Amino acid sequence: MTLAQTSISFDFIWDNMGIFLDGVRLTIFISIVAFTLATIGGLGVALMRMSKSRIVRTLIAAYINVFRAIPLLVFILFVYYGIAISFELQVSAIQAGILALTLQYSAWLGEIFRGGIQAVSHGQREAALSLGMSRFQAFLRVVLPQAFRIAIPPTGNMFIGMIKDSSLVYLIGVPELLRVSNRLANRTFRYFEVYLATVLIYLILTTSIYFLVKYLEQRYALIDVLTAKTRRFSLFGRRRAARLRDLQEKVQEHVVAAPLEMEMHEEFEEDEPEGQAGTPSARRAPD
Amino acid sequence: MKPAASADIPTRADPVVRLRGIHKSFGSNHVLKGVNLRVERGEHIVVFGPSGSGKSTLLRTTNLLEQPDEGSVVFQGKEYGPGLEGEKLARGRPRELRQAVGMVFQQFNLFPHLSVLDNVTLGLRRVKGIDRDEAELRAATQLDRVGLLNKIGSFPSLLSGGQQQRVAIARALVMEPAVMLFDEPTSALDPELVGEVLAAMRALAEAGMTMIVVTHEMGFAREVGDFNVFMDDGVIVEEGGREIFTDAREVRTREFIKAVL
C-alpha cells in the first residue's frame, strides 16, 4: 500500500494518542534518569580530571576518550546484548539503556563542567579563602555556582541530545516513543501519520528544554531587582525586591535615629574606653 | 565587640601581626628574601616600591594565600609557616588567621554570581554562621557606610570599578577583622574613580583600623602612612615614618620617590 492508496487521516493519530503517550512517558523517564545520573557522574569526572593525583587524571582521561569514541548505538547494543544478556546478568533493557546513556553522557558532561570550573578565575577562590572559608566551601559556594552558570547553555544542548539519543534504546526492545511508533506503523501501515506524529512529539519535547534553558538563564541573570522595570517569571524578583526595600528602610532608620549616638559611639571608642558603656548606640543593637 | 578602633595610642610593644624572616620563591624566582615586619595595633603601614619588588607577595603571604618557604607569620599568639630556628610558637591553621584578616584585591574579586548584598553576607553566614536576617542587616549597614545602600540588589558587573572596590571593602570589613590588607586597591581603577575608594580607606584609617596598604598612590601614602616600607628586589630597603618621603636615607628610596612623585 502506498500513500496514494490510503487517505491521510489525522484522526488516526488522536485515536492512538494513548499509545504515543505511553512511549513519551518512558522516553521522558529514561532521559531524566540518565541525565540526572550523568550530571552527578559528570561532576565526578570533572573533579577527578583536575585531581592532584596523576594516576587519577590519566585514568579519567582514558575513560573520557574511550567512551566518547564509541558510537552510542554500538555501545547500547554492547552493554545489553554483549554483556547483560551474554553473561545472564539481572539487568532489564531499560536499566541497560540508562546505564549506557549515563556512561557516555558522564564523559561529555564531565568535559563541559571542567571547562566551566576552569573558566572561573583564580581570584574568586582566593577571595573566598580570604574571608576564612574552607577550600571546600570556596568551591561549593563560589566556584561551582559560577561554573554552573557558564555550563547552562552547553548542558541544555546535552539534555536535548539526551532526549534524541534515548530513542536508540528502541533497538534493545525498550518500549519508548520510537519503538511504540514503529510498532504502530508496522501494524497499521500508516507510516506518514505515525512518523509525523513522532517527529512532532520529539520537537515538542526538545523545544520545552530550550524554554527551560532560557528560563534558567533569566532566573540567574544579573539584574538589579530594585531597578528592573519588567521581568518575566518575576515572582522571585518581586519578593526579593520587597525584602531588600525593607532592609534599606531598616538601615536608614538606624542611621537617622542614631546620629547623636553614633558620635558618642565614636568618641567612646577613641577617648574613653571605660565610660558610657551602657549606650553603644542603636547601630550596635543587632550584635 | 572585637577589633575596629583602637583605644590607645599605639605602643611599639603591641604588635598585631609580625612577619619573621619570610622567604618565598616561585620556581627559581626568589621573590622575598628574608622580610621582617611588625604591625602595631591601629597602625597604618604603607608598602611601596617598583613592580616585581615583592610587595604584593608580602601582603599575600601575610594572610597565607602564599605559604612562606621560610620564616613565619605571627598573629594572635600563633605562628603560621615553617618558622625560624629555635623559637617555636603554637602553630595555627590558615583559616583561623584569614577569618581575622581582611583583604582587598587589586581586581576586586567580587563574586559575580551574587548580588552586592549577598557578596557581603556570604562570609557572615557561611564562616561565622550568622542567620540570614542578622547577616543582611549587618551587611546593609556596612554597605551604607561605604555609600552603597542603594545598590544592595545590584550585581558586581553592573557597578563601576570604584563602586565594586567599595563593595569589596565592605565585604572584608563586615567580618570585623583585626587587620585589613589592601593590595594595590586603586591600580585597576579609572583615574576619576580612585578618589572614592581612597576616601573610604581614609575614613577607615581615621576610625583606627590597623591597615597594611600596598599602593602607588604617594599622596595617600604621605597622608595616611604612619609607618612606611620601601621594598626593592625582595627585601625591605628602608622603613620609617613620614620623613621617608622627604628625607630618605637610601639612594634607591630617594630615586623611586622622585620618579613617582
B260 contacts chain A (CB < 8 A): no
B123 contacts chain A (CB < 8 A): yes
B180 DSSP β-pair partners: B102, B211
Q: Which residues of A91-129 are buried (b: 16+ CB within 10 A; e: fewer)?
A: bebbbbbbbbbbbbbbbbbbbbbbebbeebeeebbbbbb
Calculate mean pLDDT across residues B172-176. 96
Res B76 pLDDT > 60 = yes
Res B201 pLDDT > 70 = yes
* Grid cell at residue B36: 621582617
Higher pLDDT, A254 or B36: B36
State residue A241's pLDDT score: 85
Q: Please state, in angstroms and rounded to a whole number, the distance separating the CA atoms of residues A183 and A43.
A: 38
CA distance A158 to chain B (A): 23
* Grid cell at residue A215: 528560563
Res B226 pLDDT > 50 = yes
Q: pLDDT digits over A210-228, tens only? A: 998 888 887 777 777 777 7
State residue A21's pLDDT score: 93
Calculate mean pLDDT across residues A244-260. 76
CB atoms closer than 10 angstroms to residue B152: 27
Judge whether A100 and A79 are in contact, CB under 8 Å.
yes
Using an 8 Å CB-CB cutoff, list chain B residues near A226: 150, 152-154
Res A264 pLDDT > 50 = no
Q: Taking CA B188 as the corner, what is the angle to CA B187 and CA B189, rounded to the nearest 5 degrees?
A: 95
* Grid cell at residue A180: 511504540
* Grid cell at residue B172: 572584608
Confidence of residue A268 (pLDDT cuts 50, 70, 90): very low
Q: Please state, in angstroms and rounded to a whole number, the distance separating the CA atoms of residues A26 and A30.
A: 6
State residue B60's pLDDT score: 95
State residue A234's pLDDT score: 64
Higher pLDDT, B85 or B229: B229
Q: Please state, in angstroms and rounded to a whole number, the distance separating the CA atoms of residues B159 and B119.
A: 13
What is the H or E stretch that residue A218 is in? helix A191-219
Cβ–Cβ below 8 Å for A247 and B175: no
State residue B8's pLDDT score: 45
Which B residues in the span 126-165 are in contact with A, Cβ-Cβ below 8 Å?
126-127, 134, 136-138, 140-141, 144, 149-155, 157-158
Q: Please state, in angstroms and rounded to a whole number, the distance separating the CA atoms of residues B109 and B172.
A: 12
Res B3 pLDDT > 60 = no
Res B200 pLDDT > 80 = yes
Listed by start position, the domains of chain A span 12-219, 224-271
State residue A227's pLDDT score: 76
Using an 8 Å CB-CB cutoff, list chain B residues near A270: 5, 7, 208
Q: Alpha helix (H) ranges present in chain B? A: 55-62, 94-100, 116-126, 132-145, 161-173, 191-206, 218-224, 251-260
Note the ipTM here.
Answer: 0.90
Q: pLDDT digits over A64-82, tens only? A: 999 989 999 999 999 999 9
Using an 8 Å CB-CB cutoff, list chain A residues near B208: 269-270
Sequence letter at residue A92: S
State residue B92's pLDDT score: 85
Q: What percent of chain A shows pLDDT beyond 70?
A: 84
Q: Please state, in angstroms and rounded to a whole number, the distance separating the CA atoms of residues B31 and B55.
A: 9
CA distances from B196 to B70, B107, B191, B204 (A): 38, 16, 10, 13
Give the residue from B238, B241, B247, B239 showing the smallest Cα distance to B224: B241
Confidence of residue B87 (pLDDT cuts 50, 70, 90): low
Judge whether B212 and B38 are in contact, CB under 8 Å.
no
Q: Please state, in angstroms and rounded to a whole number, the distance separating the CA atoms of residues B241 and B218.
A: 14
Judge whether A18 and A184 are in contact, CB under 8 Å.
no
Q: What is the pTM of this model?
A: 0.80
Q: pLDDT digits over A274-284, tens only? A: 434 444 333 33
Mean residue pLDDT of chain B comes to 90
Q: Which residues of B55-90 are buried (b: 16+ CB within 10 A; e: fewer)?
A: bbbbbbbbbbbbebbbbbbbbeeebbbebeeeeeee
Judge whether A36 and A79 are in contact, CB under 8 Å.
no
A251 contacts chain B (CB < 8 A): yes
Count the helices and strands in chain A (H runs, E runs).
12, 0
Q: Are strands B210-214 and B179-183 parallel, antiparallel or unpaired?
A: parallel
A141 contacts chain B (CB < 8 A): yes
Higher pLDDT, A13 or B8: A13
- Please tell me which of the candidates A121, A149, A283 has its beta carbon nearest to residue B141: A283
Q: Which residue has the cell 487521516?
A: A9
State residue A261's pLDDT score: 41
Res B90 pLDDT > 90 = no
Q: Please state, in angstroms and rounded to a whole number, the distance separating the CA atoms of residues B236 and B55.
A: 9
What is the H or E stretch that residue A184 is in? helix A177-188
State residue A16's pLDDT score: 86
| A12-219: CATH, from 1.10.150.120, 1.10.3720.10, 3.90.1720.10, 1.25.40.20 | 1.10.3720.10
State residue B137's pLDDT score: 95
CB atoms closer than 10 angstroms to residue B190: 10
Q: Say how many CB pairs under 8 Å bridge A and B.
A: 124
Q: A16-30, A176-190, A243-257, B204-218: which range is least confident on average?
A: A243-257
Q: Alpha helix (H) ranges present in B18-69? A: 55-62
Q: A130-139, B11-20, B136-145: which range is least confident on average?
A: B11-20
Q: A9-13, B14-18, B19-23, B143-147: which range is least confident on average?
A: A9-13
Higher pLDDT, A190 or A25: A25
Confidence of residue A5 (pLDDT cuts 50, 70, 90): low
Judge whether B80 and B92 are in contact, CB under 8 Å.
yes
Question: Judging by beta carbons within 10 Å of its beta carbon (0-12, 13-18, 19+), is residue A87 exposed, middle or buried?
Answer: exposed
Helix axes A144-165, A191-219, angle to 10 degrees: 180
Q: pLDDT digits over A39-62, tens only? A: 999 999 999 999 999 999 999 999
Give the residue from B249, B227, B166 showing the smallest Cα distance to B201: B166
CA distances from A19 to A9, A12, A115 (A): 17, 12, 41
Res A265 pLDDT > 50 = no
The per-residue DSSP string of B98-119 comes to: HHHEEEE-TT----TTS-HHHH
Q: pLDDT digits over B101-155, tens only? A: 999 999 999 999 999 999 999 999 999 999 999 999 999 999 999 999 999 999 9
Sequence letter at residue A262: M
Mean residue pLDDT of chain A comes to 84
Cβ–Cβ below 8 Å for A127 and B105: yes
Res A270 pLDDT > 70 = no
Q: Are strands B70-75 and B179-183 parallel, antiparallel or unpaired?
A: unpaired
State residue A273's pLDDT score: 40
Give the residue from B194, B188, B183, B27 showing the smallest Cα distance to B101: B183
